[in-house]
């Protein structure tokens, strides 16, 4: 493992700018935008995500295969003195519980994290963030997560990852996710849990204000509305 060099910035904190790989409709980008980060662009191979991504994040959506993306696509986007964040939540399907039962796995998909590692090496962002299903850590066909962590450490990043339970962070979904952060500034850790079991956020808490103003879909006793 390479030795670490701590990169410190003096004076006023500069803007934090984000490029989002595998951006989808932009949930991760939107979360960072809501905290004051500037979202520059999102890259994805699903063109149907373009409208939602650009509308919600006020950032450009780029339809492009990650294997064809290079530092020339990313580096010019960042301001000179900005804190550069590169986010990349590669598709989780290859590492899901379903995929473990499926013998016909798509090798192209589970290799996408290596493409993310390649771009980290080329771009040298200040901060890297990634999330995926916990099973990625036990993936048997390749040591995908370990290889990604090693690639970051070889580029002098401090790396921290752990499995989090989503309700502990105010998310109304009973699932777990592996979250990784890496920094060139020094040691980095995930924030502690923000919620306890007695104050977990429910789906009603999150979207109950939508009411039933939408169009009724189907004739089920349990009504579902299309907004």
224 belongs to a structural domain: no
Domain count, the chain: 1
Residue 8 has pLDDT above 80, yes or no: no
76 belongs to a structural domain: yes
The β-bridge relationship of strands 83-88 and 158-165 is unpaired
222 belongs to a structural domain: no
208 belongs to a structural domain: no
Q: Quickly state the pLDDT bin for 139 (edges 50, 70, 90).
A: confident
Higher pLDDT, 21 or 94: 21
What residue numbers bound the domain in which 180 lies?
16-194
C-alpha neighbours within 13 Å on the C-beta side of residue 128: 30
9 belongs to a structural domain: no
Q: Quickly state the pLDDT bin for 119 (edges 50, 70, 90).
A: very high
CATH number of the domain at 99, please.
Answer: 3.40.50.150
pLDDT for the residue numbered 224: 45
Q: Is 92 a catalytic residue?
A: yes
Percent of the chain with pLDDT over 70: 78
pLDDT single digits (tens) 94-106: 555 555 555 555 5
Q: Quickly state the pLDDT bin for 153 (edges 50, 70, 90).
A: very high
Q: What is the mean pLDDT of residues 177-190?
A: 95
Q: Quickly state the pLDDT bin for 216 (edges 50, 70, 90).
A: very low
pLDDT for the residue numbered 13: 77
pLDDT single digits (tens) 26-79: 999 999 999 999 999 999 999 999 999 999 999 999 999 999 999 999 999 999
202 belongs to a structural domain: no
43 belongs to a structural domain: yes
In the numeric block, the tokens 């939107």 are attached to 30
Q: Which of 23, 49, 92, 166 is catalytic?
A: 92
- HEC string of the chain equals CCCCCCCCCCCCCCCEEEEEECCCCCHHHHHHHHCCCEEEEEEECCHHHHHHHHHHHCCEEEECCHHHCCHHHHHHHCCCCCEEEEEECCCCHHHCHHHHHCCCCCHHHHCHHHHHHHHHHHHCCCEEEEEECHHHHHCCCCCHHHHHHHHHHHCCCEEEEEEEEHHHHCCCCCCEEEEEEEECCCCCCCCCCCCCHHHCCCHHHHHHHHCCCCEEECCCCCCEEEC
d(CA 158, CA 138): 22
For helices 112-123 and 144-154, the axis angle rounded to 10 degrees is 10
45 belongs to a structural domain: yes
């Amino acid at each position: 493992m390479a030795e670490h060099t701590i990169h410190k910035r003096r004076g006023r904190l500069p803007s934090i700018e984000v490029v989002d790989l595998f951006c989808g409709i932009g949930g991760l980008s939107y979360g960072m935008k809501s905290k004051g980060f500037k979202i520059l662009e999102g890259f994805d191979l699903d063109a149907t995500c373009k409208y939602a991504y650009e509308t919600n994040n006020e950032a450009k959506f780029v339809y492009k295969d990650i294997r064809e993306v290079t530092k020339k696509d990313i580096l010019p986007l960042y301001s000179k003195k900005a804190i550069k964040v590169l986010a990349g939540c590669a598709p989780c399907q290859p590492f899901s519980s379903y995929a473990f039962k499926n013998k016909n796995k798509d090798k192209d998909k589970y290799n996408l994290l290596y493409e993310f590692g390649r771009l980290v090496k080329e771009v040298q962002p200040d901060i890297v963030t990634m999330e995926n299903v916990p099973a990625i850590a036990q993936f048997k066909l390749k040591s995908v997560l370990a290889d990604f962590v090693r690639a970051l450490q070889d580029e002098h990043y401090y790396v921290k990852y752990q499995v989090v339970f989503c309700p502990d962070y105010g998310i109304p979904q009973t699932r777990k996710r592996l979250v990784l952060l890496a920094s060139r500034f020094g040691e980095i850790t995930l924030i502690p849990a923000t919620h306890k079991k007695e104050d977990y956020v429910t789906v009603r808490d999150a979207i109950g204000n939508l009411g039933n103003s939408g169009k009724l879909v189907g004739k089920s006793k349990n009504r579902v509305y299309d907004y």
